[in-house]
Structure 1
Amino acid sequence: MVLITDGIFNEGSNPLYSDAKLHSPLYTIAQGDTTRKKDIFFQNILHNKIAYLGDKFPVQVDISAYNCSGSVTKITLEAINSNETRKLNEESITINDNTFFTSKTFLIDATQSGVARYRVRLSPVSGEFNNINNYKEFFVEILDARQKVLLLANAPHPDLGALKSIITENKNYEVDIAYMNDFNGNIGKYNLVILHNLPSENSDITGILIKMKQSGVPAIFIVGMQTSLPRFNQSQEVISIAGNSRNNEEIQAEFNPGFNQFTTSEYLKNKLKIFPPLQTPFGEYKVQGTSSVYLFQNIKKIKTNYPLIAFGEQNGVKTAVITGEGIWKWRLFDFLQNQNYDLVSELINKTILLTTIKTDKRKFRTSTSKNVYKDNEKVLFDAQLYNDNYEMINDPDVKLVIKDDAGKEYRYTFSKTQNYYTLNADLFAQGAYSYVSSVVSNGKELVAAGKFHVESLQLEQFDLTARHSLLKSLAEKYNGTMMYPSHLGVLRDSLLNNVNIKPVLYESKSTKPIINLKWLFFLLMGLLTLEWFLRRFYGNY
């Protein structure tokens, strides 16, 4: 085997440390220049692929320089969008050695959700051989995971403080506390409303519920001694209670082993049974429709089929009901038992998470396999189309238009695979791209849109110094020799005179059914015909 290369590798591990399992000697032909040119470049950039809106995230930039001792360069960090390039940071770097390395760390504010594009640049120094590797771009996906929660109560209650403390342990949650008689805010700006002891005899929440339904805001009802049960039954379709809120009952929690919408730790399952009792109105509790029960009520050590926590869904919006007040006692008990609030936090946070997850009811969806691609990766799409019964179909054609920063359009048609759609759009150059897919179903045009980014590797520009020592070591490892292009004649003679290199003879055998030999068939037929003729002629028949 003959390998002609400069010995520079820019992806994967050092080839010297891998076992190629060659069955012949390896001869390397050394190309390129081993002289270190005057150059500064980015050795590496380390950053999170995902950050959260409102957070700060670090970026580590590794910088190398050769033969630049005494020079000064500036490193600049910039944020790039379609409208502007904004400088985020800038520092001067003094290069004090001809073989120089340093690392710089920057903190970036995640100020806008989506895929953020950043660039780091090094100002060139006098006499620098290669300026192409003086800049590098990277991408970070900024997720807006913040949730605004409203604790709307009939009156002050220790549960409110306990719930706020539990919820705000997660920095992505913001909690407001308000009382029904004083509330006049915009209910649509919240991702979740927790209704404590509402509706009550004094507070009708019909108007609030109408606005929540219009905005698609989910709700968690906490039923207590101030809850008006008739109004409560009219306000949701998860649980119905036939009883009187003037009479209360103490209940404890019993885990429902048939519940599978989220997982619960075994420790919490066991500890739930000894948590302090909650107060709930006395009455008969029934689960409505297809609602699912997470916890049952345990009354006086007897497990019942009355729900303590249950979930329902209507038109893609979820509702949860907790049929008891006194969660603050659970939180105190958790701390006394475990010196932390982890168990109650797990229970409440998973209840909130399940309630706030929205079911995607779109009939047409398109997505890319990832949001950021390298310029040597193919951009892949998939699409799903649903009929009125939400069955996946792929009868009509789906069109896709991709547009780059300059406004150039690329048009495609999806392939149909089983009951969905796929598309391999191949490679794209570095830049930001938007896409719009469309399909006509039942006479209506459905549209889905999105964005993706492509980052340039530029791997060949970061190391331009040939590694002939690596080629020499590789050749020796596999019983060969390293040579220069001027010695190709020597290589030819060496290969021709190598006694270990011999011609390879291959023997193959093939068989054919005799029925395929047509000439033999006609020969036999001819002989039989001749025999018949001769017998006939000489009177043997």
Structure 2
Amino acid sequence: MQTETLLYIVLAGIIALSLALFQYIYKSKKRSPIYIGLTFLRFLTIFSVLLLLINPKFDKVTYYNEKPNLVVAIDNSESIAYLNQDEKAKQLIEALKNNDSLHKNFNVEFYSFGKDLSTNDTLAFNEKQSNMALVFERLSDVYSNTISPTLLITDGNQTYGNDYEFMTKSYKQPIFPIILGDTVKYTDIKIQQLNVNRYAYLKNRFPVEVITTYNGNSNINTQLKVSSGTTTVYSQNLSFSSSKTSEIINFTLPANRVGVRSYKVELIPLTNEKNTVNNVKNFAVEVIDQKTNVAIVSDILHPDLGAIKKAIESNEQRKATILKPLDFLNKSNEFQLVIVYQPTNNFRALFSEINKLGLNKMVITGPKTNWALLNQLQSNYNQEITNQTENYQPNLNQNYATFIVDDLNFGDFPPLQSEFGEVTYNNSIQTILFKNINGTQLEEPLLATFETNGKKEALLVGEGIWRWRAQSFLNKKTFNAFDNFFGKLIQYLSTNKKRSRLNVDYESFYNGNDNVKIDAQFFNKNYEFDVNANLNIILKNKATDITKTFPFVLKNNAYQVDLSGLDAGEYSFAVNNASENISKSGKLKILEYNVEQQFLNANVTKLQQLATNSNTRSYFIDNVDALTNDLITDSRFVTIQKSSKNIVPLIDWKYLLALISLCLALEWFIRKYNGLI
């Protein structure tokens, strides 16, 4: 308490005593016990009121013990059951839950993980993927400011995400791996990796690369076979030894028929080979009969050009070529779509050629665009010429009705630079992105599509789209989200199909461990997105003729159904709206493959290295007692006594108000009883 406050309290006591003595002693000239008692009550009342006015503050210190956390992360993937470690893992979890010594020294918290992390400790060992790097990324956010040693109960076999071995650089908590599995080395041959493109072109040959490995000491012979249905399309004899433990086989296969073609790659098993599941891998290739050639025409050099080319060519069905206007005129018949980037005075002949060939196009403008010329070369839109520039951020139009657009958090994307002023459209347009200036959305399109005389066109008013692709990578750790968004725009522009009220977005085939998700959009007769549509998908397994119906769920600006977990096979489906006679049908294939069944042993080496990087030890599941003892005796994980200091003002002390009320009541009662009132 400050000295100034103490002086105020002493002064308040003097004033309160003086007033009480003046009223009951000095004025009345009486010294009876009643008057002395009344003087004391009046002193308490006045002094308490003055204390409330001064409102001194007191320090309140409380002490408490803080135990460290013990984070237990359990691998819930199928490989644990496949290695026959599921019962041991469950017994270990029960032992940890019932260990009083651990609970006395730690706050024990359980998590399970597969492809994602959850707080549910109910184990089924049915996760299709295991992503240990994600475990450390998520837990580092939760336990960044605490002492939280982490038990990682796993076989160490990761099938998804970044390599977890060096995650100690970002995860600062001590990690204690508990190894599920044994170190016995079994003789085994396996297909380590299979590399093949998703698409091939009719009457071409597509390359296949198979990486095979061998674990053993003797010389062995086997055969690699590739079959499609009952027909063997390729075979090769292989030999391995203790010195030759791997081989890479490259070959090509013909693409003779349009559609999805399924193949099986198989290594003939060895005698008494324990795991034959990893001898087989399935793959599929979609054969298409044409390729979309896109011309990117520009008179300037800009990073946007490379970003657009990369986004387009992320789909093997498309090829993009960057050309000068004059070069395009010499090759114009080779392209199905033209992207005109910031047209200048040299683009007069190009627009004439595009109109003559009836090509669809996308125009991207920016500060270097000659808008006076562009306004003359076409009649679909007109830009107000101000000779000033402005930065526009994008806002997604949730009601865009032409095709499904995923929200990439466009509001967080960097702005594009373009001519200041409004673009006036002379036709009906569909806006994908609105302009946004300083957080205010304008009802002006930043990116729009429209159709005139059977031709499709898009207009993007702004340069700097390369920053969007980079920002998408920072957000998602992959370019796929942006490339898919731009790819859908290119797909729409490169075809002349009419708009549909029901759009369905899906892949022709999915690998066995992929998430099988299908998106759909439904629009009313005015092509406005209908949030009340009742969409269902009727799915039929071609092999079993079993039909199942699943409802779509509204998610942002689209409907989605998750079909993950379906058995491998070929399916036909129909998506329909229950209230209207509108439907879309299609086919998809799920390839048989379980990545979690590819392992024979625990990855002991990597888990031990993880422990070394974390300055801890690794433990096998049969040696948990030693782990428990080490955790309890480790000086890094002791209970810490902490104090909490709070500054409490006197006005918050309710008992003082009660004392004032009591003193006033007693004083009134005594005076009334003795006839002094």
TM-score over 0.5 for the pair: yes
Trace 1:439-454 onto structure 2 (pairs within 5 A): 439-440=577-578, 444-454=580-590
Map of 1:230 onto structure 2 = none
The one of 533, 538, 545 equivalent to 1:407 is 545
Map of 2:594 onto structure 1 = 458
Relative to the length of structure 1, the TM-score reads 0.56
Trace 1:69-218 onto structure 2 (pairs within 5 A): 69-80=218-229, 85-97=230-242, 99-145=244-290
The one of 614, 620, 628 equivalent to 1:478 is 614
Q: CA RMSD in A?
A: 4.7
> Does the alignment pair 1:490 with 2:623?
no
Aligned equivalents of 1:440, 1:495: Cα separation in 2: 60
Aligned equivalents of 1:512, 1:88: Cα separation in 2: 84
Per-residue CA distance 1:232-252 (angstroms, 9 max, x = gap): xxxxxxxxxxxxxxxxxxxx9
> Does the alignment pair 1:430 with 2:568?
yes
- Higher mean alpha-carbon deviation, 53-62 vs 491-500, is at 491-500
Trace 1:39-58 onto structure 2 (pairs within 5 A): 39-58=188-207
Map of 1:178 onto structure 2 = none
Secondary structure in 1 aligned to 2:496?
A: coil
Aligned equivalents of 2:285, 2:652: Cα separation in 1: 67
**Unmatched segments (≥5 aa) in structure 2:** 1-149, 293-327, 337-346, 383-449, 458-490
Aligned equivalents of 1:419, 1:485: Cα separation in 2: 48
Per-residue CA distance 1:158-205 (angstroms, 9 max, x = gap): xxxxx9x957868xx9xxxxxxxxxxxxxxxxxxxxxxxxxxxxxxxx
Aligned equivalents of 2:378, 2:631: Cα separation in 1: 85
Map of 2:510 onto structure 1 = 373
Secondary structure in 2 aligned to 1:469?
A: helix
Map of 1:241 onto structure 2 = none
The one of 367, 373, 387 equivalent to 2:524 is 387
Map of 2:362 onto structure 1 = 262
**Unmatched segments (≥5 aa) in structure 1:** 148-162, 174-251, 274-285, 293-311, 320-352
> Does the alignment pair 1:64 with 2:213?
yes
Deviation at 1:42, TM superposition (A): 0.1
* Seq. identity, %: 25
Aligned equivalents of 1:107, 1:41: Cα separation in 2: 21
Deviation at 1:110, TM superposition (A): 2.0
2:502–2:520 Cα contact (<8 Å) kept: yes
Deviation at 1:481, TM superposition (A): 1.9
Secondary structure in 2 aligned to 1:28?
A: strand
Deviation at 1:318, TM superposition (A): 7.5
Per-residue CA distance 1:383-434 (angstroms, 9 max, x = gap): 2223333333233311222223423333222223566433334443333333
Map of 1:501 onto structure 2 = 637
Deviation at 1:21, TM superposition (A): 4.0
Map of 2:533 onto structure 1 = 396
1:393–1:420 Cα contact (<8 Å) kept: no
Secondary structure in 2 aligned to 1:471?
A: helix
Per-residue CA distance 1:124-150 (angstroms, 9 max, x = gap): 122222111111011223233269xxx
Query: How many residue pairs align between the two structures?
Result: 370
The one of 478, 488, 496 equivalent to 1:358 is 496
Aligned equivalents of 2:672, 2:270: Cα separation in 1: 109
> Does the alignment pair 1:25 with 2:170?
no
AA aligned to 1:262 is M
Q: Compare the two structures and name the one with the higher helix fraction.
A: 2
Aligned equivalents of 1:531, 1:53: Cα separation in 2: 106
1:67–1:99 Cα contact (<8 Å) kept: no
The verdict on how the C-alpha distance between 1:526 and 1:461 changes in structure 2, with shifts beyond 3 A counting, is: same
Aligned equivalents of 1:262, 1:254: Cα separation in 2: 16
The verdict on how the C-alpha distance between 1:519 and 1:110 changes in structure 2, with shifts beyond 3 A counting, is: farther
1:76–1:90 Cα contact (<8 Å) kept: yes
2:574–2:584 Cα contact (<8 Å) kept: yes
The verdict on how the C-alpha distance between 1:493 and 1:168 changes in structure 2, with shifts beyond 3 A counting, is: same
2:168–2:613 Cα contact (<8 Å) kept: no
Per-residue CA distance 1:486-512 (angstroms, 9 max, x = gap): 443333333322233211446668999
Deviation at 1:356, TM superposition (A): 6.7
